[in-house]
Structures are given as C-alpha cells and as structure tokens.
Structure 1
Amino acid sequence: MTRLVFIGPPGAGKGTQAERLIRERGLLHISTGDLLRDAIKAQSALGVQAKAAVDSGGLVPDEVVIGLVEEGLEIAAGRAGYILDGFPRTVAQASALEAYLAEKNLPLDHVILFDIPLELLEARIKTRAERLREAEGSSRSDDNADVLRRRVGEFIRATVQLGPFYEQRRLLRRIDARQDVEAVAAAIASTIGA
C-alpha cells in the first residue's frame, strides 16, 4: 500500500500527477475540497458542521476536516493506497493525521512537496484559464492572477511549518515542479519506487 501526501501551491501540478498515479497505480485521490463538498451535499453530521462554517465565511474547523479525511482513509483501506491532496495544511492537522495513522499502524510513505516559483505559477494559471475558455467557453474562478496570489499567500502562511515537521520525520521529498509533466512524473516514480 502506497500512502502519500502532496503539498504545493495551486497550479504546481499536484492534480495532474495525482491523476497519473490513480490511473497507473490504482491509488485513491483524497481531496479535502471534494470531501467537504460531498459531505455538505450529503448533509452528513460533519457536512452540516462544514456548511455552517462555510456559510459564515469562516474556516472549516480542524476537527471537521480531520473527521472527513479519516472517513476518506477508511475508504482507501481496500485500495492500493492513496494520495492526500490539500491536507494537512497545518502542523495541528499533520499531528492529528500522524496519530490516526499510528493507531492504524499505517504510517505515511512520503510527503511530496512541489517546489515552484510564483512567476511560473502565474504563467501556468494563465495558460490553464486560456485552455478552459477555448474548450468550455468558461474559466475557473480561481484562474486569475489576483486570486492565485491570494491562494498562494494562504498556502505559504498555512503550510510553511509543514516542511520542517515532515523533514524531522524524514518523510519530505522535494520535487522540482518547474520541470515538464513527464520529468515530474519520473521524479515522483523514482521517489516512491516502481
């Protein structure tokens, strides 16, 4: 079983690489954004709590996000493994995840940090927005420079301590996300093994 965490700013290529690993290795992609949307739609107990936070404009409490991730990890139990994307975002969440996985005796294998400079992220987001407009006649609301800068700032503030947290545990693997898709995929494959 392969147990991975992908950390990186929006536009770094996490989703593209996750799709490859899902297709090639049968891993489950556990995205906190998807978990939150699904729980809210299903009106589960955690979904009701998440909706209340979202509706009030606040952050979804850690205990709700952690509960949703734990539910996602239960689903992953019968799979070849999983990729956590968008979680953890804080040391508190990372500690909760570590405790949960230790209880299950299923520690993480690798935490992959997608390193990429801001100016390249802006170019990628612009290209992605143009492709979406051409293909669908629309664009994602997060595909513009101002929103990207805000999201990258949030990412940096929220996750700056995760690098040292996972380095201390010898789990952090830095990937140069400036490379093309194939080179990044090869670097990930080399990191996690065949």
Structure 2
Amino acid sequence: MVNLVLIGAPGAGKGTQAERLVRDYGLLHISTGDLLRQAIAAGTPLGLKAKEAVGSGELVPDKVVIGLVEETLADKAEAQGFILDGFPRTLEQARALEGLLRKIAEPLHHVVVFDIPIGELAERIAKRVAQSSSSGVQVRSDDNTEALRRRIDDFTRATVVLLPFYEERQVYQGC
C-alpha cells in the first residue's frame, strides 16, 4: 500500500500519471479538480461555495477543498492506497491533510512534485484543448492562455511553501 500526493502546475501530468498508477496498482485517485466539478454540478453546500469562488475568478477557499477531500477520504473504498492529485496546494491544506491522515490512521508515503517548464505546460494545455475539441468533449473553461498564466502564478505562489514542509517530513520527491 502506498499513499501519494502529486503536486504540479496545470498541465504537468498529474492526472496522466495518476491514471497509470490506478491502472497498475489499484490506488484510489482523488483529484480535487474532479471533486470540485462534481460538487458544483451536484449543487452540494460545498459545491455552491466552490461555484461562487470559481465564478468570481478566485481560488476555491481552503476550507471548501479540505472539506471535499475529507469527505472522500473518510468514505474511501478499501483500496491499496490513494493518490491525491492537486491537493494540498497551500500550507493550510497540508496541515489539514496531516490531521486528517492521523485521524484515519493513514500515513503519507511520498509527495511527488512535477517541475515542468512553463512553455511546455502551455503546449500540453493547447494539445489537451485540441484533443477535447476533436473528440467532441467539452473543453474546460480554464484551458486557455490567460487562465493558464493565472493558474500557474497561483500555483507557484501557493505551493512554494509546501516543498520545505514536506522536505522536513522526508516524503518529498522531485521529478
């Protein structure tokens, strides 16, 4: 069993690698982006709070994201471990995750950080948009140049404090 956190900017490959790990090792994949989209679509109380933030162009508040992850981990199926994709993104979220894992008696084994050059991230997002468009899948509203720049800036500002946090805990893995 292994419990992982995948951290990386939009388009870094977290979802792609998570899918492979799920397929190869049967891990439970918890994507905060997917959780947020599902909660918004379902109109749950946390989803309504997330929708308000997304609609105003703001980051979803930590308490909302933490609540969604907590609900999911508390209800998790018997799996061979889990992958958190896109969570935590802030120090508050990292501390909340530590508390939650203590509460459910689960260790965090590794935090993998994807360090991809910005130019390559833009190419990957453009490719994702093209693939979605050509296959008839709805393009994500945040898959555009301006949103990508903002998301990368937000990611960089918020997550820079996570590296020393996880280095101290000896679970950080860069790639």
Matches within 5 A, 1:114-193: 114-136=114-136, 139-175=139-175
Across the two proteins, how many residue pairs are aligned to each other?
175
Residue identity (%): 58
Larger CA deviation: 118-127 vs 16-25: 118-127
Alpha-carbon offset, residue 65 of structure 1: 1.6
- In structure 2, relative to structure 1, the CA distance for the partners of 1:138 and 1:90 (3 Å cut) is closer
- In structure 2, relative to structure 1, the CA distance for the partners of 1:135 and 1:47 (3 Å cut) is closer
Cα distance in 2 between the residues matched to 1:58 and 1:118? 21
- In structure 2, relative to structure 1, the CA distance for the partners of 1:82 and 1:145 (3 Å cut) is same
Alpha-carbon offset, residue 54 of structure 1: 4.2
Cα distance in 1 between the residues matched to 2:168 and 2:99? 16
Match of 1:7 in 2: 7
Cα distance in 1 between the residues matched to 2:137 and 2:97? 40
Match of 2:109 in 1: 109
TM-score, normalised with respect to structure 2: 0.87
Alpha-carbon offset, residue 40 of structure 1: 3.2
Checking the alignment, whether the CA contact within 8 Å between 2:27 and 2:83 is kept in structure 1 is yes
Larger CA deviation: 98-107 vs 141-150: 141-150
1:20 aligns with 2:12: no
Q: Secondary structure at the match of 1:127?
A: helix
Cα distance in 1 between the residues matched to 2:131 and 2:54? 30
Alpha carbon RMSD of aligned pairs, Å? 2.2
Match of 2:88 in 1: 88
Q: Secondary structure at the match of 1:113?
A: strand
Alpha-carbon offset, residue 86 of structure 1: 1.5
Cα distance in 1 between the residues matched to 2:69 and 2:104? 14
The residue type equivalent to 2:62 in the other structure is D
Match of 2:78 in 1: 78
Alpha-carbon offset, residue 98 of structure 1: 0.5
The residue type equivalent to 1:150 in the other structure is R
Larger CA deviation: 6-15 vs 96-105: 96-105
Cα distance in 2 between the residues matched to 1:138 and 1:35? 17
Alpha-carbon offset, residue 139 of structure 1: 4.0
Cα distance in 2 between the residues matched to 1:62 and 1:138? 27
Alpha-carbon offset, residue 118 of structure 1: 0.9
Alpha-carbon offset, residue 105 of structure 1: 2.2
Cα distance in 2 between the residues matched to 1:135 and 1:31? 22
- In structure 2, relative to structure 1, the CA distance for the partners of 1:77 and 1:101 (3 Å cut) is farther
Q: Secondary structure at the match of 1:18?
A: helix
The residue type equivalent to 2:102 in the other structure is A
Unaligned runs of 5+ in 1: 176-194
Higher-Rg structure is 1
